[in-house]
Structure 1
């Protein structure tokens, strides 16, 4: 997994690119990034399949905040991003969410 942050000089947003590598992507036909920035919608932010078999999506997020997120691979496989800035327990207590700090 990887995260790339591109801070824009003239706007108070950051272009964040989320990427799922091919070793995870090859096991799924679709992928979504799901987080508090899209109200935890499992369909709002689909990721594009890359030629190498991975997935990627870029979203604009407000600077000065932290966001929790996870990747949904296929219909039911949840993955965290080891490259995230932090990880926190979910409200359900049985897993963790990835965190990105902007």
Structure 2
């Protein structure tokens, strides 16, 4: 799930997943962090989910995917679109 908040000159996007699905550590990787695993690890929240927040330029499109333990890559079901390989996010 994606949570969005519009700031003055940036879009704040929070990437949210269930606490245990998939199991183990998960990070969001994309063009906004040069596809670097571990740059944006999802952390547990008090509501039973885990999340990470990223600030991105407004009026832009970003490609991203999730990376879980065991080199398991997966997409965001609630993304703004998919390009055949990656999830897409419009800010």
| 1:42 and 2:42 correspond | no
Which residues of structure 1 form unaligned runs of 5+?
Answer: 90-95
The match for 1:100 is 89
Alpha carbons 2:19, 2:44 under 8 Å: kept = no
Alpha carbons 1:19, 1:55 under 8 Å: kept = yes
**Partner SS, residue 56 of structure 1:** strand
The match for 1:57 is 52
Which residues of structure 2 form unaligned runs of 5+?
Answer: none
Tell me which structure has the larger Cα radius of gyration. Answer: 1
Classify 1:49/1:74 alpha carbon distance in 2 versus 1 (closer, same or farther; 3 Å): farther
How many positions carry a matched residue from both structures? Answer: 90
Structure 1 residue runs of 4+, over 6 Å off? none
Q: TM-score when scaled to structure 2? A: 0.89
**Partner SS, residue 68 of structure 1:** strand
- Give the alignment's Cα RMSD to 1 decimal: 1.4
The match for 1:13 is 10
The match for 1:82 is 77
